[in-house]
Amino acid sequence: MSGQGFLELRGIASRYGANQVLSDIDLSIEKGEFVALLGSSGCGKTTLLRLIAGFMAPSAGDVSVAARDVTRLSPDKRGMALVFQSYALWPHMTVSQNIAYGLKLRGVRRAEIAARVSAMQQLLGLEGLGDRKPAALSGGQRQRVALGRALAIDPEILLLDEPLSNLDARIRLTVRHELRALQKRLGITAIHVTHDREEAMVMADRIVILDKGRIAQQGSPEEVYNRPASAFVAAFMGAENLLHLSGRPEGEDFALSAGEANAECRLPLDGRPLVSGPVEARFRPEAARLFAEGEAIDDTAAGAVFAGKVLAVSYPGGDWRHVVRLGDAEIMADADCAFQPGDAVKVHVPAHALFLFNSSAASAPETAPDTAPAAPISRAEPVKVTA
């Protein structure tokens, strides 16, 4: 890790019997930073959050806050608050009573509790709802009550365990921006667990991607989206199209060998350590463009071109999405018009959107973010996120 952050995790590991859930987690989080822990189910992100909160003890490593070792402290001694996925509101209590719950446990004076509860209700747009019980609230209102209860105790660190997953899609879009704006206004340090990459992209200052209990990559949303450090990260961040190719470095370029669906072409290495041999090529459907078989492609559009046949077409909104067979692989690609099943087409993938990894690296353990693993062959492009 570089520097001494406000929250420091050093050598964190966690084991359930013979099952190693987390291994060698080193993470430094600055005061006021919003960090998203992103990964699929079972990757260890919720376990890591609970270790930070103090609900679990690590089997190795230590946790510190502001240079104070809190590894063995109970949750109420860490200066943190956790918003659960289920919100965990008391059903028999009113909105005001739920928000006040943590303050009462701490023995805060009644007048101060009333002032804090009123401030939280005003801050979160819950005025006039203080006497309602959770059953009489909408999902978005219950989420705000849970957040108010967490913030009322004035925590140094706010922990969020997928708190938006129970909201419908429209409300979730609104609440994620409200939560981010609130975090910035309060200047509070926040750690948010989610499996939704778009949610992580729009909310976090930094994304930490976990895979099999290890950090696969961490960085800004732009960095992890445009420069994935491994084939796993590329796929998780939406580059699910996969082609098995081969090639070799030649000077400052990487020469892709001719294959069943492509002619030989050269792409900029951009200083990345690719070696001769098999490579995995990954790209996003929205990054690829379709052309009719005889249509010319602009000579200035650097990238790779593959020949294939359309198998299916759908309209998800915006561009038309096509399933295309390229040799023995099937990929998805977009076009602003619909091709028909059976049409012969060309698929153009710009160099900046084609992520290449040596195939042997795909089966190796994920590397830590400070190493230099195989990575995209290009510089970053502007971020474009699809739902």
* pLDDT computed for residue 300 by the predictor: 55
Asked if residue 121 belongs to a domain, the reply is yes
Could you tell me if 352 and 313 lie in one domain?
Answer: yes
**pLDDT tens column, 113-127:** 999 999 889 888 888
pLDDT of 3 over the 90 cut: no
* pLDDT computed for residue 1 by the predictor: 39
* pLDDT computed for residue 369 by the predictor: 37
pLDDT of 216 over the 80 cut: yes
Instruction: Please give the average per-residue pLDDT across 25-30, as a whole number.
Output: 97
Torsion angles phi and psi, residue 174, rounded to 5: -70, -45
Could you tell me if 29 and 53 lie in one domain?
Answer: yes
Per the structure, the complete domain to which residue 256 belongs is given by 239-362
Could you tell me if 202 and 299 lie in one domain?
Answer: no
Contact 94, 150 (CB under 8 A): no
Query: Residue 254's closest CA among 273, 235, 239, 226?
Result: 273
* pLDDT computed for residue 384 by the predictor: 34
Q: Of 2-6, 58-62, 317-321, 366-370, give the lowest mean pLDDT range.
A: 366-370
Instruction: Please give the average per-residue pLDDT across 47-56, as a whole number.
Output: 95
* pLDDT computed for residue 299 by the predictor: 61
Q: How many domains does the chain have?
A: 2
Asked if residue 335 belongs to a domain, the reply is yes
Q: Please classify residue 139 by burial: count the beta carbons closer than 10 Å to its beta carbon, then call 0-12 exposed, 13-18 middle and 19+ buried.
A: middle
Q: Of 139-143, 204-208, 344-348, give the lowest mean pLDDT range.
A: 139-143
Asked if residue 377 belongs to a domain, the reply is no
Domain containing residue 132: CATH number: 3.40.50.300
pLDDT of 172 over the 90 cut: no
Contact 309, 325 (CB under 8 A): yes
Distance (Å, rounded) from C-alpha 119 to C-alpha 125? 10
**Where do runs of H (alpha helix) occur along the chain?**
45-53, 95-105, 110-123, 139-152, 169-186, 197-203, 221-226, 231-236, 359-362
Which residue did the predictor score with more confidence, 66 or 383? 66
Asked if residue 380 belongs to a domain, the reply is no
Instruction: Tell me which of 180, 203, 226 is where a domain ends.
Output: 226
**pLDDT tens column, 234-292:** 999 999 999 999 999 999 999 999 999 999 999 988 777 799 999 999 999 999 999 99
Beta strand 320-326 pairing with 329-335: antiparallel
Could you tell me if 134 and 44 lie in one domain?
Answer: yes
Output the CA torsion sign for 379, 380, 386, 387.
Answer: positive
Is the pTM higher than 0.75?
yes
Asked if residue 270 belongs to a domain, the reply is yes
* pLDDT computed for residue 386 by the predictor: 34
Q: At what angle do helices 95-105 and 110-123 cross, to 10 degrees?
A: 130
pLDDT of 362 over the 70 cut: no
pLDDT of 365 over the 50 cut: no
- Highest mean pLDDT (candidates 67-76, 265-274, 352-361, 364-373): 67-76
Q: Which pLDDT band, with edges at 50, 70 and 90, does 188 fall under?
A: very high
Could you tell me if 39 and 113 lie in one domain?
Answer: yes
Asked if residue 196 belongs to a domain, the reply is yes
Could you tell me if 218 and 336 lie in one domain?
Answer: no
* pLDDT computed for residue 88 by the predictor: 84
Asked if residue 375 belongs to a domain, the reply is no
Instruction: Please give the average per-residue pLDDT across 310-336, as a whole number.
Output: 95
Asked if residue 27 belongs to a domain, the reply is yes
Could you tell me if 115 and 252 lie in one domain?
Answer: no
Could you tell me if 190 and 307 lie in one domain?
Answer: no
* pLDDT computed for residue 272 by the predictor: 75
* pLDDT computed for residue 175 by the predictor: 80
Instruction: Tell me which of 204, 226, 248 is where a domain ends.
Output: 226
Could you tell me if 210 and 245 lie in one domain?
Answer: no
Could you tell me if 57 and 191 lie in one domain?
Answer: yes
Could you tell me if 208 and 270 lie in one domain?
Answer: no
Q: In this structure, what DSSP letter does residue 340 have?
A: P
Block residue for tokens 């005025």: 127
Q: Please classify residue 245 by burial: count the beta carbons closer than 10 Å to its beta carbon, then call 0-12 exposed, 13-18 middle and 19+ buried.
A: buried
Contact 101, 90 (CB under 8 A): yes
Q: Which pLDDT band, with edges at 50, 70 and 90, does 167 fall under?
A: confident
Percent of the chain with pLDDT over 70: 91
* pLDDT computed for residue 39 by the predictor: 92
Domain containing residue 288: CATH number: 2.40.50.140
Could you tell me if 309 and 216 lie in one domain?
Answer: no
Tokens, residue 54: 């103090």
